[in-house]
Structure formats: structure tokens, C-alpha cells
């Protein structure tokens, strides 16, 4: 099980204020004002998608300067799923004069709402002004506890007209799919009857009208820290899941007018948001999607996005997949995912025809047990055979565009996801139902697995009211081997297995170990990395289809003492493999040795026929008897250089290494002596003191 982070407080919200002179996030340079567009909308509002389009275009034209918020409320916002209504939205709605939908307020500069044809004017008016303050910060979300740690800074570059201002923090969520009246009017957010709701107001971290801050004079810096427990769902009834991977936090500062809500907004900024914990490693699955790679078989490739929320790099993972509650399939991944970064991990899964549920679970990371689970639905529409007339052939791709050719693109892909050829977008034609034919040549080979993809950005294909378009692939003999009409909506895909009936094919299944090479039947894999490889090659008039599995060699480690005294024994234990063979001839996991001199022992470990090795050197030291009857002393111990040696009637001092080798033998003839060890290598030494009466005292001294 995961270990919970210990640094987050068990409270829903806490804030602290510090008026410090040093800022961590916010700029101290004067800036132009940024703008917040709060759009009042609802799922039953037929015209609201047109308002979304206007807001989206304004944001795209003013990146990092304009932020949009969709506030769902009122009779146009039903409580059926997904219910976006919030108390915060109702409070804003009640405080302003909202006369119609879709309407909005821009930086809360008016007490009444504005129609969408006015938004452009008011946004540009705000962006042209100088801001009295700057605001910035960051949000770290602990995925194990769903606690958000929020740090916000406000720096005043000029005096506010009010002695007290108000800091507000919104939490927004993107990519929530649900119903929307008039959704098809905004095709960028509409797909097959569902609407993708963006920048939806889900919660306010601060009180409804903000958190009071002061002083508000030029040169003042205000810091605030909040802890917010992110709920699993928001909304009652029919609440919507709060997906921590699709959250945005906005911070903005408002002035205060007596008797009205806090307004206007002086400045606004989205806060840098990332996932993190104080745990050493913490893998989270942020998404699962079909990979660009594909096969002409039921074996499909999925791309799993793994985010490392921990503070150390992830270097290995054990992943289990299960399709439709079938048997568990284990996968091993090795690589590097640095702290707070994402890596796409590709996994092959066997998926039957139709729609299947695929469960992906990370069970180990860096040999630590985890339970990170994600599910996705994968569609296997199979593949089609495409006949050609020779081993290699030039085919013709025909695209009959409709009037709006500027909306159409297509590509032909190899099985590794690389583009063989592509086309579009094309020019827009005059005439209500005009069409134009485009032809492109491409070379393909028998045994290839290819994919043809055509897309229309407006989601209405290349047909019908705007001209009867189509797409085709034709072989060298003029036979149509792929025939598609233009009524494909937003996208059509075809996986094609290229076949040549007159050629003999043979499947080759090979497993080798990492570090080995495979060079049969014209294939040339020289020291490939661990993984699974699929390739085809025509060799001696036979088409060989290769499935090559490269197994990673086991990483063998030996544990045990590396220093013993003569006559003592030590137990050495190997790990990391299934079977072992030691240099002593033994085949057990552990061996016990009693070397008479310094000796190096090695072991070869074997797993699935692949070998890894390790070795260890056991150093034999010489014991030295001590005479404790004489009065002597050395200090300081350990030492960085000089060692004071004191003993009555001292004759000589000897320095001996643990293996018995003499380092120095110094004639002293005094009761005190400074031994200079500054030139010694760091380590343990024996200091042997001999008196004029042939008495001896031995000390261990450590050179730092």
C-alpha cells in the first residue's frame, strides 16, 4: 500500500499571512492589467456554446493575459448529471444584474452583465490599463491525499484606492463531458452528442468575496498560504467527479466598494499547478490512450502516461494489465522518470474485437509496492486486408475534397507510427457543393501493416451539403482496395494488412537475451534493448514475419562482509535471479567461505535463460595483539591530519594497515610525538607504540 505523505495538515483550509520583503513567485515590475471573464452559462442554454466560442477565441488571442470562467447557475443549469451548480456561482449571480444568457462580467467593472458582442471591447479596455498589483504563486496537489498546498503572493507596484483589498482563489476544472443544448454550434467542444465543458467553476478556496489583505501601498508584498482538501465530487444531487489532472487555480485581487460585492478586479493570474509529495517516489497514471504504434492483429499498443509526483526518479516499474476481467498479464518497464515529470510508457495488450475494458495497475516502482490503478475502454475494429500485385508496389491515394477543403487532413502511417505520406488541409472552393480530386502516390510492401487516417476539423466529413467527397486507395492494377465515403464525421481510421497472395509467408518467434544479436532471414538486430519487436522481411522469396522478444538480463547483487580477519568465515548471498552458479562451484543462493588471503568471488545468475553476473572481494586482515598494561594515549581520533601520541619512555611508533602492511616506522625516543597523517588516504589504521622496555600498545585510528 502507498505510504501517506506526512507533511500535509489534516484540515480543510488553513491560511497564514506573512509581510516579508522577499518574493518567490510574483514579479515586482509594473505590469499591464490582466482580465477575468466570468461567463454566466448553463447546459440548457441553446445559445451558450456560441458564448463559449467567443470566450475561447478571446483567450486564444490574449494568452496569459485573459482567463475565462464558466459559472453554471439559474434555470438554464439543471441538477441532472453533470450538475455544475455551486453556492459560489449563485452568490455571484445574485450580486450582479444578469439580464440574459450567455452574459459575462469583465474584471467586475460593471454591476450588470455584458452581452457577448461587448466582451471584446471591455477586455481590450482592461488589458490596456496599468495594474496596481501583481499576483502569482503555485499549487502542489498530493495525489495520495488530494490535499492542495497553495502559495500566493501579491506585490503592489502602485497604491490601491482602497486601504483593504481582497484576495480570491477559484478552482476550475476542464474536460468534463456531458449534455449541452446547442452543443453542435461549437464543434471544437462537441463530439458524437456529447459536449466537453471547459474552465468550469467548481469551488472557491477563499471566502465568497475574498480574503482581506493589507497594506495596499506601493512596494508592499503579501504572502498567503492555504491548504485545501479537494473533494472527490462536487455538486448535489448528481455531483461531478473532481479530476485532479484537469484542475486550474486562478488567483485575483479585488477592491472593496461598500454595499456591493468586491470589485473591480485589479489583477488575475493562473497559478502553476503540479502534483507532488514528500515521498521518495510516487507514480500516478494520468491517462491511457492508444499508441501511435499498431499491429494487424488483436495485439494492441496503449500509451500509459505516468507522472512521478515523488522527489526521486522512478527507474523501474512492474505493471499488470487485465482485459475484460481476464487473466493478469505482467509487464516490466525500465527507464527514468524524473521528479515531477511525465513519461509515456507503451504496453502491448491482447484485445478481442469490439469494445473492451482495459485495467492497468502499477504494482511496483523501484521495487516498492504500489496500488496505482486506471481503466480505459479500448475499441478494436479489427483490420482489413489490402491486396497488392507484387512484393512491393506503388499505390494511389485519392482524396475528393468538398467545398471546405481547409478542414480536411489525412495521413498514411507505418506500424511504428511514422508518417509514410500525408495531405491537406486544402484550399476552400467556390460553389455551394464544389469538389476537387487530389492524388498522391505511396510505396508499400507485402507484409506491411499500415493505417490510413482522415480527419475533418469541423466534424462533418467531406460530403453531403458541401459536395460529395470520398477517399480511396487503388493498387497498381487499378483495383480499389480501400473505399470510403465522405460521411465519416470528425475522423475515420483503417488498419490495413498488406498481402500478396503469391508469396509464401512464415512466422518466426524468437527469444534472445539482452546483449545478444539476431541476424537470420535478413533481419539484423545487433544488441537490441529489452522489449518486443515485430518486423517482416522478404528473404529467398519467403516473407518472414518476425516476433522477437528480447529478455532483460537479471541484475545480480552479492551481499556480505567484505573484510574478515584470518581464520574467520563470511556468508555471501546472491539476489536478482532465479538460479546461481558461484566461482566456487556451488549453486546455492548463499555460500560460506573462509579465505586465507584476500579473494574475489563471483556468481552468475540466470532467469529465463538469460544471465547476469556480480563479484565481491573479501579482504583478509591481520589481527594485532594489544598489551594494555602500559599507559598511553592518542588524540584526536578520528583525525583530519595530525595525531598526538603520548606514552612514557616511548621508543618508536609504527603505522600498520588492516591487511598487515607497514606504512611507517618512526623512531621517537620521547614521551610525546605528533604523527602527521595528512598524506594518508582516508581509512582505518593501526598505531603501534613500543616503549624502551619493549612493551607495546596498539590503537585503531581513523583518518577522515
pLDDT at 536: 84
Q: Is the pLDDT of residue 649 over 80?
A: yes
Asked if 266 and 183 sit in the same domain, the reply is: yes
Query: Which of 399, 397, 403, 398 minimizes the C-alpha distance to 464?
Result: 403
Domain that holds residue 310: 283-380
Domain boundary (380, 410, 428) is at: 380
Residue 9 lies in a domain: no
Domain boundary (571, 598, 621) is at: 621
Helix (H, G, I), strand (E, B) or coil at 226: strand
DSSP secondary structure letters along 133-156: EEEEEEEEEETTTTEEEEEEEEEE
Residue 61 lies in a domain: yes
Asked if 419 and 472 sit in the same domain, the reply is: yes
Residue 413 near residue 478 (C-beta atoms within 8 A): no
Asked if 540 and 585 sit in the same domain, the reply is: no
Asked if 670 and 693 sit in the same domain, the reply is: yes
Domains in the chain, number: 6
Q: Of residues 161 and 657, which shows the higher confidence score?
A: 161
Cα separations in angstroms, 9 against 133, 144, 227, 386: 30, 13, 8, 61
Q: What is the pLDDT of residues 439-475, one digit of tens each?
A: 999 999 988 999 999 999 888 999 888 999 999 999 8
Residue 6 lies in a domain: no
Asked if 534 and 464 sit in the same domain, the reply is: no
Give me the count of residues in the chain: 704
Q: Parallel, antiparallel, or unpaired for β 408-414 and 368-380?
A: unpaired
Asked if 356 and 454 sit in the same domain, the reply is: no
Asked if 420 and 339 sit in the same domain, the reply is: no
Q: Is the pLDDT of residue 8 over 60?
A: no
Asked if 424 and 529 sit in the same domain, the reply is: no
258 C-beta neighbours (distance < 10 Å), count: 5
Q: Determine the average pLDDT of the residues in 401-418.
A: 94
Asked if 612 and 648 sit in the same domain, the reply is: no
Q: How confident is the model at residue 259 (pLDDT cuts 50, 70, 90)?
A: low
Q: Determine the average pLDDT of the residues in 242-246.
A: 94
Q: What is the pLDDT of residues 219-242, one digit of tens each?
A: 999 999 999 999 999 999 999 999
Residue 10 lies in a domain: no
Residue 651 lies in a domain: yes
The C-alpha torsion from 150 through 156 and 162 to 166, rounded to 10°, is -10
Distance, CA of 582 to CA of 604 (rounded, Å): 6
Asked if 457 and 598 sit in the same domain, the reply is: no
Asked if 573 and 515 sit in the same domain, the reply is: no
Q: How confident is the model at residue 623 (pLDDT cuts 50, 70, 90)?
A: low
Helix (H, G, I), strand (E, B) or coil at 89: helix
Domain boundary (621, 640, 667) is at: 621
CATH number for position 562: 2.60.40
CATH number for position 27: 2.60.40.10
Grid coordinates standing for 359? 485495467
Q: Using a pLDDT cut of 70, give the percent of the chain over it.
A: 94
Helix (H, G, I), strand (E, B) or coil at 554: coil
Distance, CA of 689 to CA of 685 (rounded, Å): 13
Distance, CA of 375 to CA of 293 (rounded, Å): 20
Residue 627 lies in a domain: no
Residue 660 lies in a domain: yes
Distance, CA of 223 to CA of 154 (rounded, Å): 7
Residue 199 near residue 247 (C-beta atoms within 8 A): no
Residue 626 lies in a domain: no
Grid coordinates standing for 400? 475528393
Asked if 257 and 349 sit in the same domain, the reply is: no
- Tell me phi and psi for residue 384, to 5 degrees: -115, 150
Amino acid at each position: 500500500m502507498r505510504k501517506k505523505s506526512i507533511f500535509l495538515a489534516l484540515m480543510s483550509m488553513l491560511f497564514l499571512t506573512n509581510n516579508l520583503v522577499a518574493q518567490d513567485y510574483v514579479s515586482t515590475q509594473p505590469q499591464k492589467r490582466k482580465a477575468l471573464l466570468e461567463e454566466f452559462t448553463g447546459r440548457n442554454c441553446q445559445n451558450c456554446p456560441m458564448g463559449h466560442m467567443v470566450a475561447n477565441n478571446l483567450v486564444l488571442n490574449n494568452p496569459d493575459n485573459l482567463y475565462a470562467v464558466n459559472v453554471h447557475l439559474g434555470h438554464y443549469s439543471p441538477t441532472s448529471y453533470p450538475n455544475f451548480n455551486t453556492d459560489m456561482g449563485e452568490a455571484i449571480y445574485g450580486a450582479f444584474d444578469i439580464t440574459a444568457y450567455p452574459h459575462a462580467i469583465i474584471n467586475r467593472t460593471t454591476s450588470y452583465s455584458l452581452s457577448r458582442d461587448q466582451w471584446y471591447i471591455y477586455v481590450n479596455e482592461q488589458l490596456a490599463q496599468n495594474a496596481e498589483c501583481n499576483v502569482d504563486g503555485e499549487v502542489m496537489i498530493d495525489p495520495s491525499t488530494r490535499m492542495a498546498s497553495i502559495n500566493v503572493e501579491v506585490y503592489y507596484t502602485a497604491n490601491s484606492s482602497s486601504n483593504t483589498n481582497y484576495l480570491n482563489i477559484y478552482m476550475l476544472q476542464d474536460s468534463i463531458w456531458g449534455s449541452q443544448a446547442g452543443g453542435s454550434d461549437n464543434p471544437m467542444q462537441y463530439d458524437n452528442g456529447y459536449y466537453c465543458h471547459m474552465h468550469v467553476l467548481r469551488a472557491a478556496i477563499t471566502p465568497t468575496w475574498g480574503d482581506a489583505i493589507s497594506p495596499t501601498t506601493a512596494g508592499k508584498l503579501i504572502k498567503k498560504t492555504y491548504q485545501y482538501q479537494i473533494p472527490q465530487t462536487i455538486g448535489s444531487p448528481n455531483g461531478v467527479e473532481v479530476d485532479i489532472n484537469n484542475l486550474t487555480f486562478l488567483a485575483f485581487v479585488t477592491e472593496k466598494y461598500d454595499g456591493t460585492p468586491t470589485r473591480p478586479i485589479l489583477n488575475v493570474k493562473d497559478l502553476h499547478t503540479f502534483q507532488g509529495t514528500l515521498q521518495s517516489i510516487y507514480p500516478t497514471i494520468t491517462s491511457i490512450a492508444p499508441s501511435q504504434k499498431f499491429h494487424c492483429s488483436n495485439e494492441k499498443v496503449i500509451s500509459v502516461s505516468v507522472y512521478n509526483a515523488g522527489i526521486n526518479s522512478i527507474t523501474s516499474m512492474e505493471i499488470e494489465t487485465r482485459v475484460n476481467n481476464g487473466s493478469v498479464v505482467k509487464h516490466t518497464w525500465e527507464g527514468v522518470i524524473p521528479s515531477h515529470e511525465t513519461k509515456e510508457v507503451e504496453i502491448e495488450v491482447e484485445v478481442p474485437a469490439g469494445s473492451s475494458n482495459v485495467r492497468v495497475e502499477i504494482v511496483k516502482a523501484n521495487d516498492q509496492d504500489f496500488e496505482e490503478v486506471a481503466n480505459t475502454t479500448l475499441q478494436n475494429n479489427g483490420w482489413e486486408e489490402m491486396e497488392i500485385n507484387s512484393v512491393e508496389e506503388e499505390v494511389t491515394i485519392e482524396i475528393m475534397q468538398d467545398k471546405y477543403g481547409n478542414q480536411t487532413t489525412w495521413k498514411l502511417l507505418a506500424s511504428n507510427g511514422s508518417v509514410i505520406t500525408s495531405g491537406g488541409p486544402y484550399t476552400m472552393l467556390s460553389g455551394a457543393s464544389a469538389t476537387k480530386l487530389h492524388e498522391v502516390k505511396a510505396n508499400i510492401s507485402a507484409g506491411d501493416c499500415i493505417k490510413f487516417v482522415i480527419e475533418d476539423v469541423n466534424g462533418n466529413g467531406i460530403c453531403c451539403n458541401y459536395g460529395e467527397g470520398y477517399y480511396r486507395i487503388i493498387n497498381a492494377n487499378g483495383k480499389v482496395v480501400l473505399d470510403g465515403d465522405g460521411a465519416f464525421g470528425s475522423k475515420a481510421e483503417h488498419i490495413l494488412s498488406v498481402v500478396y497472395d503469391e508469396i509464401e509467408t512464415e512466422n518466426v518467434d524468437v527469444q534472445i537475451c539482452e546483449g545478444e544479436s539476431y541476424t537470420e532471414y535478413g533481419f539484423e538486430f545487433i544488441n537490441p534493448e529489452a522489449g518486443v519487436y515485430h518486423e517482416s522481411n522478404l528473404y529467398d522469396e519467403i516473407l518472414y514475419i518476425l516476433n522477437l522478444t528480447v529478455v532483460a538480463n537479471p541484475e545480480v547483487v552479492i551481499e556480505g562482509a567484505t573484510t574478515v580477519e584470518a581464520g574467520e568465515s563470511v556468508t555471501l548471498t546472491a539476489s536478482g535471479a532465479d538460479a546461481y552458479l558461484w566461482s566456487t562451484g556451488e549453486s546455492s543462493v548463499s555460500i560460506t567461505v573462509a579465505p586465507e588471503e584476500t579473494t574475489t568471488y563471483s556468481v552468475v545468475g540466470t532467469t529465463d535463460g538469460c544471465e547476469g553476473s556480480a563479484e565481491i572481494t573479501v579482504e583478509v586482515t591481520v589481527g594485532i595483539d594489544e598489551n594494555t598494561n602500559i599507559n598511553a594515549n592518542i588524540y584526536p581520533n578520528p583525525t583530519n591530519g595530525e595525531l598526538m601520541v603520548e606514552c612514557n619512555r616511548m621508543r618508536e611508533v609504527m603505522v600498520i594497515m588492516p591487511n598487515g602492511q607497514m606504512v611507517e616506522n618512526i623512531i621517537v625516543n620521547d614521551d610525546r610525538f605528533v604523527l602527521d597523517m595528512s598524506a594518508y588516504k582516508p581509512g582505518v589504521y593501526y598505531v603501534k607504540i613500543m616503549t624502551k622496555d619493549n612493551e607495546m600498545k596498539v590503537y585503531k585510528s581513523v583518518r577522515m
